[in-house]
Structure 1
Amino acid sequence: MSFGASGNSEQADSLHQEVQNKEGEEKIRAQLDLAMYFMVENNTEAQSVAHSALAAAKKLKNQTLQMEAFFILGRVSHSLNNINRSQTFFDSALTIANQLDDSWMQSNILMRTGINQHTQSDHLKALQSFTMSIQAGRQSNNFRAVGASYSMMGTVFRVNGLYDRAIEYIIKARLNYEKAEYTEGYAWSAYLLGRIYADLKLMDKAMEYYKLSLETYERQAKQDNNLNGVAICYEQIGILNLLTGKIDEARKNIEYTLQIHEVTGSKFGIANAYKNLGRVEYFSGNYALAEEYLKKALSSKIEMGDMLSKPSIYLYLGLCDINTGRPDDGLANIHKGLDQAIINNQKRIQLDIYSKLSDIYLDRNDLEKALACQQHQISIQNSMLLGAANIKLEQLQGIYELDAKNSQIAALEQQNEINRLELKQNRTSGILLIMAILLAIIIAIIIYVFYQRLRQKNSQLEEANIAKDKFFAIIAHDLRGPVHTQTSFLDHLHQEFDSLEKDELKKLLKLLVSSSEHISDLLDDLLLWAQSQVKKMEVKTTELELNRVIQNTVETLKQSAKLKQINISLDTDNKLKVLSDANMLQTIIRNIISNAIKFTPRGGSVSVKTFDSGQGQVTINITDTGLGMAPEKLNKLFDITSKNHSQGTENEKSTGLGLILVKDFIEKIMEV
């Protein structure tokens, strides 16, 4: 593809000519068109032209032109990062739109208001504004504004980790963009779906949507020569390739985005390209070149006032310093990045930085600081697991009800509007009056029926929220135990390090490894459960040697069994093979044997036996000499909201999560 600037000087000259040659309302409209053109190239010039148009519209007392001028000034102020001033202009525009009963402009203004609120992290108000924009857009068939509002609602849900809702709203956005025949909106929807799947670590699915978006943007670029969409797609494709180890492909992708941004003159795009090239060269081991790119990116970001990108730039600058023999400079840079990430409330980046710092301090044999970094990681993970996102599900319930109600009565609103106009034209007609009364009664009945359905849906949502809250509480509680154990071991190791014999030291390190593996298992279970709940977990069946799967699983549990002096015996057929998902099968076996160990008294035994049960089926028989289970507890075994969980024989904590995962995975495997 050949490069070219998106701006068109001939178009600018033509608009200038119209402004000079026209008078009155026509001149003001030409000024507004010129302001919109400059908004892409020069926001300051756009602001000046729009102010002139507003002053002229006020002299003519033309409310429609005043409204449009206020709206453009709001957009320009947003581009200049003056959000408060932007919202003042939008509020003025909305007041006039309400007076004129202009639902088309109401939809546009409310959508832009929601974007301002999202920028200021007021997500609940943003969702309310987008919902009102959708209502107004439906009344006026402003499908483009409806699509944009749904798209932004999807973005709000994505950044708060509610991926199933995000996907739902972005698909709605795509459908409305199709109605509006807005190609760029369709491409943007595919791009956002790619971002969601990338967040979920579903790299193949993310790549599929990025390529779909790229294909659409490239077709559009052939018509309008605007390569911004192409650039953002190649940027994300490059990042995906970097994360999956395809360094050379990633470099080509990011270098291509840099070429595009240099032609279009996008300072923001150029800075991002240098940041990503710095990451690519870091992972390639070219630390000097990486540092050069990162410093260019940092300089541009500081100039633009972009605080969100600074933490990752400082992180990789610090890593380059450390790898080139400047550890003190490196740590200073990394801590700069951490401080900025804390200010920005960027929890995922904080986790990444603390992880890198922990590794660095371990390499320097500074166990105290390494442990402190690990504790910070755990604290952040706990806050994320306990739902410390900006939006709580219960807060969104009102928005969900409003959106559902809008969807159900949208057709009734249009019919009611038609009847309202008919009543204005035929006030003396008794027949129409009777029809209007009947229609009102029918609408009231329908709304009542919908209200009852929404109340039922409310109840279901409350039950789901209770279950989810219980699940997160269980995870946080179960994770805290092994973390505290690990902390105690590390503290003992730190206090007694000089007096410990080599064998004792090895024993303590082995226990620490075991504790870390247990924490890892818990987090793995959480990820598996979360993927399962949003229906993104695919069952991948392969032929497995059952004996090997069982032996590998038992090996991970030997330490916990040894601590309780419990013997695990295996009577497995080496020839048995099964068709199953390896990860799910291993999770099932691990959880059942782990439970057997937990509820078996010290000195007991656990036996695992496999045999061919005929008709193409294999049986795995796991028995123990444990306590057994009362019938009333057995009935609530798979109820995540139940608090009736027993402790192990030596007061080990039990959450009931393991067997819930077992049941869920067995059902998924059986469906294949």
Structure 2
Amino acid sequence: MGAIYANNNDHRKGIKYRRQAIEILRQTKDSITLAAALMNTGYGYYLIEKYDSALYLYEESGEIYSKKNFEIGKAYNLGNAGLVYAKQGKTLEAEEQLTEAIEILKELEDSYAITEFEIEMANIYEQRGEKQKAEKYLLGALAYAQEDGLKERIRDASLQLSELYSSEQEFEKAYEYLQNYLVYRDSINNEETIRKMADLRTEFEVGQKQAEVDLLEEEAFAHRVLLWSGALIGGLLLGVIVLLHRFYLMKVRTARIAKARRQVIQGQRDELDHLNATKDRFFSIISHDLRGPVSNFNGVTYLIQRSIEEGDQEELKSMGIMLEESAQDLSSLLDNLLDWAMSQQGTFPYKPQSINIAEICNPALRVFKNTAKAKSIEIDDHVTSDLQVYVDVNSTSTIIRNLLNNALKFTAEGGSVSLNIEMQEKFAVIHVSDTGIGIPQDKLERLFVFKGVKTSYGTQGEKGVGLGLNLVKEFVDLNKGKIKVESEEGKGSRFSVFLPLAKS
């Protein structure tokens, strides 16, 4: 809870929950976790400028890390204390703490923290007028940041180098680093723009809902007006018998007009209902397809935690690369899903094209690679095929992702999941097989029927909404294909998707 509030920049609530965690951890023997909670709480105090409180907590966490010889924790603790001393203007203490932290982190090859601490060292030397030392630390921080693709640190180091060289009247170097700063600043801003576009999409959908409500209110008002008119006409008919025939004709005419208007309103409402249903399906698809990549992140975090506990630094570096790849896959998937959803005009878009089937399968396999690793499940990470299919890429990708997600979800640790491709007559056939729990015979006949929201759980409690296989069947039909299922309870399942080959 404390981390969630801190990540949303509500540091005061983050501190509140972390202090509660500290009190609980003091009753346990888990001193390393206690030290981490103390250090993170101290960093929260640093961010809200309560420096004495931050140093008090750093002192206690530092003693624990030193006693346990936990070098990475000790380095972070020293560096964070150095940041506080720098804010207090105690540059000698800050320099001592930051220097020791950087030396430890270089041995551990933790470039993320090194860049932050070296940039702060450069600030200290700039304040003293020692420009050469400041330049050395800024160039070192920039090199580490460029090596690991840390965009924000590249941006900050480039800006400080530009300002440093400008103050020394080395304008060519100042201009070079200013250009580098602008490139990375714009790149980071573009990522913010993508997030804002997603927010605008949500606002647009809320506006559509409001328009539907307004239309229903107008319809209700029209019905009330019609009833009032009828009552008035009835009263006039009773009061003025002589004009009965005329009023009768007026009533018939009014009824015809009202009926015609109701038909128009009904048609508009039906169209809105259809558009709204399609929109809801798109949100369901997007939510369902994001489960795989998010689960992939959970798998990586589990492996990172295990590597930290085992002190396996090489595995941690590997996990860092996996996190970057997973983030790129998730970003690509989000872009594709949002572009796809925004292109719909009341129906699911179907834009078939000729494409190699492996180009659809391999991205899906990468998305679930870390989820499989976290469950110790063997899975292909790459398939090759020269078969060209004629399909809609987005809906076909959804088919593959859903089948792989289900296979992993219902396969226990130590099992295996495979994806194979072959040709049968005029179809490319994708086989997704697993050694999971299988499907009871009585459920096979209604496997692809979705009747309201239903929750199913995997071998490790993974939650689903029962939407995936319904979408698979719908999208297989959309792409003029077919699907077959073979399963035996307790021995696993095999889903075979037949997709039409492209005409040569």
- Same-fold status (TM-score > 0.5): no
Higher relative contact order (CA 8 A, sep 6+): 2
The structure in which a higher percent of residues are helix is 1
Which structure has more strand as a fraction of its residues?
A: 2
